[in-house]
Amino acid sequence: MKPPVFHCGIEPLKAEAWVLGIEKLFEVFPCTEAQKIQLATFALKDDARRWWTLVRDDNKDVTWVRFLEIFYEKYFPQCVWDRKAAELMELKQGNKSMAEYEAQFTELARFAPHMVDTDYKKARQVEGGLRDPILDKINVLKLPIYVDILDRALIAERNVANRKQNFEWKGKK
């Protein structure tokens, strides 16, 4: 298996994808802290490699957690994390299917773990963005568990779609 390569540039989502790819390797190949740093820095290319060369002497015996702090400081600025957290707070289902809404929710939630660090917070956050016809059927249940909200929202979405289809069919008769 080849580790994912990170070249350069302040492209936060590419930086995040690279970190996730490297950490995926750590799940398959358990490494010591030193080996994690060796593998990760081996996968840095071009400008990213030059950046690490400049900062590595000040970061001898760095842990993986500290490496991530240094890496994110450079390639994933705090303002981007803040913007993603704001997107999560403002996320609405709109015209998206439940599957699309949940996928976007999951994507944004990793940037604001403090907003979804309990199942209850996660449930309230996703429930708050549901479109009205689905929310009307879900929020009366006061479900405290995230997966229960998703399950009932999927059922409600299907029921709303069926009712709409039946109404349109009856209108054509």
For the whole model, what pTM was predicted?
Answer: 0.76
Backbone region of residue 96 per phi and psi (left: phi > 0; alpha: psi in -120 to 50; beta: other values): beta
What is d(CA 91, CA 96) in angstroms, rounded to the nearest whole number? 11
Q: In tens digits, what is the pLDDT along the chain, a chain of 173 residues?
A: 788 999 877 788 899 999 999 999 999 999 999 999 999 999 999 999 999 999 999 998 899 999 999 999 999 888 988 999 999 999 999 999 999 999 999 999 988 999 999 999 999 999 999 999 999 999 999 999 999 999 999 999 999 999 888 777 766 65
Rounded to 5 degrees, what are φ and ψ at 166? -65, -40
3-50: per-residue pLDDT in tens?
A: 899 987 778 889 999 999 999 999 999 999 999 999 999 999 999 999
What is d(CA 130, CA 24) in angstroms, rounded to the nearest whole number? 32
